[in-house]
Amino acid sequence: MMFVPSLYMAKPGVAEKIEAYVAAGGTAVLTYFSGIVDECDRVHLGGYPAPFRKLLGLRVEEWAVPPDDRKHKVRFSKVAGFKRKYETSFWAEVIRTEGAETVATFGDGCYAGLPAVTCHRFGKGEAWYLGTQFGPEFHADLVRCLAKRTGTKAP
């Protein structure tokens, strides 16, 4: 498994290396605010996360940082290893899927019903995208879920 947290700056070739890893059967997890600019801090064209759109099967249309006291509820579909609901804070994205499966949606507020977590089959592997910031409980469940899906041992 490969975890790629908030890779804001992505130079040429990085997306292709991650795509090759996933296509060969790997699992990659990318998080919010990834693929925004190149190595010279120039905005990538073509919609966010531009260099990772093909891999992730989605487009991020906008993002927002809610006030500190605002929490979002996120509801999961029936994916083994996840609880039904988690709380998130700090970040929320409007995601439009372009082939990715919606695994979880925002459960309240102006983002209610929109994707919060997606999974996209790519070649022999999977690329997951987290469009919000979760706490440690979710991340532990995510690692256990992905370990089970990939046949590896969770720490």
Gap between the Cα atoms of 74 and 83, Å rounded:
10
The architecture CATH gives domain 2-150:
3-Layer(aba) Sandwich (3.40)
For residue 80, the model assigns a pLDDT of 65
Which of 146, 145, 110 shows the shortest CA–CA distance to 22?
146
Helix, strand, coil percent content, the chain, rounded in steps of 5: 25, 40, 40
Tens digits of pLDDT across the chain (155 residues): 999 999 999 999 999 999 999 999 999 999 999 999 999 999 999 899 999 999 999 999 999 887 767 788 999 987 767 877 898 887 899 999 999 999 999 998 888 999 999 999 999 999 999 999 998 999 999 999 999 989 988 77
Q: In the chain, what are the domain boundaries?
A: 2-150
Model-level pTM greater than 0.75? Answer: yes
Please, are residues 56 and 32 in contact by the beta-carbon 8 Å criterion?
no
